[in-house]
Amino acid sequence: MAIIVTFELEGATQDVYDACIDRLTGGRGFSAVADLPKEAAGLIAHVSGPVEGGWRVTDVWESAEAFESFAAVLAPIVSDLGFGHVQPQVTPAHNVVIH
């Protein structure tokens, strides 16, 4: 079952997000799932942007197991950037439509 994973990063900026992406992709940028490590194979959709007081990242994953595989790669990076205390909100997806 697909899940929605949302990170609310209070105090984060685009620079923090970009630094995380640079570390995940080796500086190649992120415009397709293939740009990420192989552990992200279950990613269906990704959006991020500024919110009042910080930065929000919302992903749709094929399953909780797919997200957990990627989280093992993501967690040390997020921790190094000073946001290791942040826990994502995970909810089941009822409907996922991709253009």
Alpha-carbon distance 55 to 40, whole Å? 21
Q: Is 93 left (phi over 0), alpha (psi -120 to 50) or beta?
A: beta
Among the listed residues 25, 18, 80, 79, the one whose alpha carbon sits nearest the alpha carbon of residue 50: 18
| pLDDT score of 99 | 85
| Euclidean distance between CA atoms 98 and 74, whole angstroms | 24
Confidence (pLDDT) at 50: 98
Instruction: Record the pTM.
Output: 0.94
DSSP string computed for 58-79:
EEEES-HHHHHHHHHHHHHHHH
pLDDT tens over the chain, length 99 residues: 999 999 999 999 999 999 999 999 999 999 999 999 999 999 999 999 999 999 999 999 999 999 999 999 999 999 999 999 999 999 999 999 998
